[in-house]
Structure 1
Amino acid sequence: MLCVEDDPAMGALLVKELGRRGFGVRHVRSANDALAAVEVEDYDAVVSDVRLGGMTGLELCERLVARRPELPVILITAFGDLDTAIAAIRAGAHDFLPKPFELEELAIRVTRAAELRALRAEVRRLREGIVTPAGIEEMIGEHATMQRVVAMIQRVASSEAPVLIAGETGTGKELVARALHARSPRAAGPFVAVNCAALPEALLESELFGHTKGAFTDARAPRAGLFVEASGGTLFLDEIAEMPLALQAKLLRALQEHTVRPVGSDREVAFDARIVSATHRDLESRVADGEFRDDLYYRLNVLQVRLPALRERGSDVLLIANHALKRIAQRSGKPVRGIAPEAARKLLAYDWPGNVRELMNAMERAVALAEYDDVTVADLPEKIQAFTRSHVLVAADDPNELLPLDEIERRYILRVIEAVGGNRTRAAEILKVDRKTLYTKLKSYGWRPSDPPLGAPPT
C-alpha cells in the first residue's frame, strides 16, 4: 500500500505499525510524489492525510480516482467534521477515517479496501470474458484477405502453441489476440496484455517476471509478474520486436522451461499461460540484422496470423467507414447518415499508413466537422484530401523518355515496398527474390525502413 503523509513522524509510525501487521508500505510526503509513485508501481490501496502541503488529500483523491478508478483511497484527517466527510465522498474516496484512530481499525479498513480492489478486478475480468467472444464479429470486412484471417483464427484458437500476430500498426492485432483467447479452452482464465515498447528494460523485466520485496528501490512488496498472473489464460506480448536483446534471452528461457525467476529471487516459479505475441515490424529482417534472437523468433512463431493492411482490403475501407460513422453519429447525437460519393473516392484512394485506427480517427473528425447529412471531402483530414498515389513510368511515346531497365527495376521495387508498408519479407515474396538480394538492392537505392511511403504527402 501507499501512505501519503507530510508529517515524517506520523509517516514513520504508519510504516512501522502497518508493516508489523503484514502490509508492505511505501511512505511519500506529498501528493505529487504519490501521483508519480502510482505510475510506476501497483498498489492495493492508498492511505492519505487530507491536510498536505501543496495539493490536498481531497485533490489527490480526485486525481487518483480519475487515473486509477480501481485503486481504493482512504482519507484520514484530524478535522473529521461532516463537511470534510462529504467532500471525501465526492472526491471518490473509498473510506474516511477521522483522527485519532486505532491502528488496528486502519489495518482492518486497508484490508477491506484491498479485498474490494481484488473483487473489482475479478468482476472486470469476467466482464471482459463475456465481451471478448465477439472479437471475430468486430472484424468487419468482406475482402478475401480478412476472410482468411477469420478462418485462421478459428483453426488455431484451440491450440496451445504460441501464436505470432503480424501486421502494420493499427490493423487490430490485440483484437485478434482477444479473439484467440475467447475461443480457446482457456477462455475462462485471464487475458493479460503488456506493451513491450512502453516500458524501460528494468521495469519490463519486473512487470513480466515479478520481483521480491527489496529487489530494487521502491520494491516495497513482492509481485508475482504477468507470466504468473496469466496462468490459466493467455499472455499477450504486444510490440515484441521492441524487447531489448538482454531480456529476449530471459524470455526464451521462460518459454522453454515454463518457469520464471522474479527479480531478486533465487528460485523459479512455474506458470501456465499460452503466449500470443504481436509486432508491426518485419521480424525476419530484424533477425537477419542481429536485432532479434533467431531462436526466440522460432519459439514465438509456431503459428502465425498475418493481418492485411487496410490498403490491401479494397472496398472494406468504405464498409468500416460507414460502420464507424453510424456508431460515432449515434454517440454524438449528430444526424450524419452517410458518405458523399467524392469523399468515398478519397477514402478509397488513400494509402492508410495508420490502417483501421487511422480510419476510425478520420471518421471521428469527419462527424465532428460535418455540416450536412453526408460526410463531404471538406470534412476529411487534409492529408486524405491532398493525397495522390505514386506511379511507375515504364513506357512513353517518345523514345528519348524511355528508361533503362535498371531504373525501371528500381522504381518497381520501391513501389512494391510502398505497397507493403516497408515489409521486406512480404516484398521479397511478391518480387520472387530472396530477402538478402532485396535488402542489397534497397541499400544500393539508399532506402531505409524508417523512410515514409512513396507518394505520401509531405509532413
Structure 2
Amino acid sequence: MFGKILVIDNEKRMCHVIKAALELDKHDVEIAYDGDAGIRTFANSEFDVVITDLKMPGKDGIAVLEYVKNSSAETEVILMTAYASAQNAVEAMRKGAYDYLIKPFDMIELKLKVKQILEKRKLTVENVNLKNRLRDKFSLENIIGQSESMQKMYQMVEKVATRDATVLIRGESGTGKELIAQAIHQLSPRSEKAFIGVNCAALTETLLESELFGHEKGAFTGAEKQKRGRFELADGGTIFLDEVGDISTAIQVKLLRVLQSKELMRVGGEQIIPVDVRTIAATNRNLEQMMKSETFREDLYYRLNVFPIFIPPLRDHREDIPELIAHFLKKNEQPEHKIDPRVVSALMKYHWPGNIRELENIIERMIILAGDDTITSEILPPQIRGIVDTQPSISLEIPDSGISIAKVERDLINNALKKAGGNKSKAAQLLGITRRKLYSMMERLNRE
C-alpha cells in the first residue's frame, strides 16, 4: 500500500535520504526544512504519515505533532531525534506520536513502521466503510413497505432500538425477521459491536448447546480445542436467536439461566463467564400453544417476550408488492418497465404463503426466463398464471362519434380512487398498475 508522507528536518541531507528510501517503496514524499515550513506544507495537502525531527529552529517536533493531531487525528506522526531522553519520549507518546526513533536509525526500521501505519489505516478505512454499508443496508429507510401495517411495525422498531430490552420478533417464514433484527441492532447504542446470529432450528441439541455457550477442550468426542460460543462472541453487542421456538426444553433451561444471570459456563467447563449481550429472538411458531402443550417453557417465554414485534404476512400488505417488485428488479440490475403491469396485478392478487422470500425468488426466476424480453404472464408460475386467466374482462362500447382515451383513463382512475376510498395504493392495485404508474398517469392527464 502506498501513502503520502511529509518529512520535516532541518538537516537537508537527512530529508533527502529518507525521501529517496521511501520513494523506492512507491510512496509520495514531500520534504520541509523546519517546523514552520512543515506546518505550512501540511496545511496545504493531506498526508498519511508525518516524519519530523524533534529539535529544530522555530517550531520544534512537539509543536508539529500537536498541529498535525489537532488538524487530522488519523494522520500518524513519527518523531526523530539524536537527543534521546525518557522525558521527551513520554511527552511525545502522550501527545499522540505513533513512535519515537533515535538517530542514527536503520532505514529498514523506519520503512517497516510506515508500512505498519498504512496497513492499519487501510484496515480502519475498510472497517468504517463496511460499517457504513451495513448501516445503510439495514436502516429502516431501506426496508421496503409504505403500507399502514408496515409503518406501525417501523414505529415499534424505532421505539425499542435505543433501549436494551429483549425483543421477540413474530412472523411467518419469509417475512424478513432477521432484517428487522439487524435494523434494531444498527439503530441501537450497540451498533459498533458484533451482531451474531444463530439458526436454532438448523442444529441438533448437542451442537446448538456448543454453538450458543461454547465448549472446553475434551468436553465431548471431537472437541479437540476450546471454543467460544455465540454469546461470548456477541459480548457488548447483539445475539439473534432465529427460530427460538425450535429449541429443546433442555437447552431452554440453560438459555433462561444465561438471560437471567448474564453469565454462562462452557460445555465441560467450570469457569463462570460474564456476558453483556442484548438478545433478539424470532419465531414463526405459536409459542402460546407450545406453552399449553408444555414444549416451550413459560418462564423463558416471558423472559423473551419483553417487547414483541409482529411482522405482517405479505398478503396483509399487498399494496407494498409493486414497490417490492421494483426493488428486486433493481437488485438484479433490471429496469422497472421490464415487467408487464398485468403480471404485477396478478402478483398482487396471489396469497403468498412464502411471503417476501417467495416473491423475490419468483421475480428472479422470471428475470432469468425472460432474458432480454419483457416479463409477461406466460412465464408466471402455474399457481399465479391462473389468476391472470380468471381476471374479468371489461366490454367497452365505442360510439360512432369516437371516444377520448384520456377521458376513459380519467374515469377509470376516478372510479378506482372512489372505490379505494382515496387510497392511491389500493386504487393502483384495482387498476393492475404500480403506484408510480398511477401518479405518472394522473400527472399526464392533468396536463392534457
TM-score over 0.5 for the alignment? yes
CA RMSD of aligned residues (A): 2.4
Cα–Cα, structure 1 residues 383 and 121, in superposed 2: closer, same or farther, change >3 Å? farther
- The SS at the match of 1:337 is helix
Post-superposition CA distance 1:293-328 (Å, at most 9, x none): 111010001001110100000221121012212321
1:72-221 superposed matches below 5 A: 127-128=130-131, 130-135=133-138, 136-221=140-225
Change (3 A) 1:286 1:132: farther
Report the Cα offset of residue 369 of structure 1.
1.1
The within-5 A match list for 1:56-455 is 127-128=130-131, 130-135=133-138, 136-330=140-334, 337-370=337-370, 373-386=373-386
Distance in structure 2 (CA, Å) of the matches to 1:191 and 1:324 = 25
Shift of 1:345: 2.0
SS of the residue 2:201 aligns to: coil
Distance, in Å, in 1 between the alignment partners of 2:318 and 2:370 is 25
Q: Aligned-pair distance for 1:342?
A: 2.2
Q: Deviations over 1:324-375 (max 9, x none)?
A: 1232144xxxx67232232122101111111111000010011111156532
Alpha-carbon distance in structure 2 between the residues aligned to 1:221 and 1:273: 24
List per-residue Cα deviations over 1:417-450 (Å, max 9, x = no partner): xxxxxxxxxxxxxxxxxxxxxxxxxxxxxxxxxx
* CA distance, structure 2, for counterparts of residue 241 and residue 387 of structure 1: 35
CA displacement, residues 113-158 of structure 1 (integer Å, 9 cap, x when unaligned): xxx9xx9999679725641344212211110001011111111001
- Once residues 146 and 336 of structure 2 are traced to their aligned partners in structure 1, the CA distance between those partners, rounded to angstroms, is 24
Give the deviation of 1:201 after TM superposition.
0.6
Alpha-carbon distance between aligned partners in 1 of 2:161 and 2:288, rounded to the nearest angstrom: 24
Q: Which digits, 9 at most, give the CA deviation of each residue in 1:70-119, with x for residues without a partner? A: xxxxxxxxxxxxxxxxxxxxxxxxxxxxxxxxxxxxxxxxxxxxxx9xx9
Report if the CA contact (8 A) 1:370-1:379 is conserved.
Answer: yes
* Residues 168 and 280, structure 1, Cα contact 8 Å, conserved in 2: yes
* Corresponding residue SS for 1:235: strand
Provide the secondary structure at the position in 2 that maps to 1:141: coil
Quote the offset at 1:275 in angstroms. Answer: 0.2
CA change 1:214–1:307 in 2 (3 A) is: same
Contact 1:365–1:380 (Cα < 8 Å) also in 2: no
Give the secondary-structure state (helix, strand or coil) at the position aligned to 1:375: coil
How far apart in 2 are the matches of 1:212 and 1:159?
A: 34
Q: Do the aligned partners of 1:205 and 1:247 also contact (CA within 8 Å) in 2?
A: yes
Q: Which runs of 5+ in 2 are unaligned?
A: 1-118, 389-448
> Are 2:149 and 2:317, in contact at CA under 8 Å, matched by a contact in 1?
yes
Residues 214 and 230 in structure 2, CA contact (< 8 A), matched pair in contact too: yes
Letter of the structure 1 residue corresponding to residue 252 of structure 2? Q
Q: Deviations over 1:144-177 (max 9, x none)?
A: 0010111111110011110001111111111101
| TM-score, length-scaled by structure 2 | 0.56
Indicate how the Cα distance of structure 1 residues 376 and 167 shifts in structure 2: closer, same or farther if over 3 A, else same. Answer: same
Inter-partner Cα distance in structure 2 for 1:267 and 1:244: 24
| Alpha carbons of structure 1 residues 150 and 197: separation in structure 2 relative to 1, 3 Å | same
Deviation at 1:382, TM superposition (A): 2.0
**For each residue in 1:162-219, what CA deviation from the matched residue of structure 2 results, as whole angstroms up to 9, or x when unmatched?**
0001111111111101100001010111000000001111011011001111111121
Q: Distance in 1 between matches of 2:126 and 2:222?
A: 29
For the 8 Å contact 2:238–2:280, the answer to whether it is kept is: yes
Paired position in structure 1 for 2:50: none
Query: For 1:361 and 1:298, how far apart are their aligned partners in 2?
Result: 36
SS in 1 for 2:209: helix
- Per the TM alignment, residue 242 of structure 1 is displaced from its structure 2 partner at its CA by 0.4
Once residues 274 and 191 of structure 2 are traced to their aligned partners in structure 1, the CA distance between those partners, rounded to angstroms, is 20
Q: In structure 2, what residue type is equivalent to 1:217?
A: T
**2: CA distance between counterparts of 1:235 and 1:357?**
23
Query: Aligned partners of 2:292, 2:349: CA distance in 1, in Å?
Result: 34
Cα distance in 2 for residues equivalent to 1:137 and 1:282:
30
Write the letter of the residue equivalent to 1:195. N
How many residues are paired up? 267
Counterpart amino acid of residue 362 in structure 2: A
TM score, norm. by length of structure 1: 0.55
Output the amino acid matched with 2:350.
Y
Residues of 1 paired with 2:190 and 2:136: CA distance? 12
Q: Distance in 2 between matches of 1:210 and 1:127?
A: 27
Q: Distance in 2 between matches of 1:387 and 1:283?
A: 35
How many Å separate the matches in 2 of 1:303 and 1:158? Answer: 13
Q: Note the residue ranges of structure 1 that are not aligned, 5 or more in a row.
A: 1-115, 389-459
Contact 1:129 1:187 in 2 (8 A): no
Counterpart CA distance in 1 for 2:127 and 2:375 is: 37
Query: 2: CA distance between counterparts of 1:128 and 1:245?
Result: 37
**Contact map agreement 1:164 1:304 (CA 8 A) in 2:** yes
Contact 1:322-1:339 within 8 A present in 2 as well? no
- Contact 2:326 2:336 (8 Å CA) reproduced: no
State the secondary structure of the residue aligned to 2:221: coil
Percent identical pairs in the alignment equals: 43
More divergent stretch after superposition (180-189 vs 379-388): 379-388
| Cα distance in 2 for residues equivalent to 1:381 and 1:300 | 39
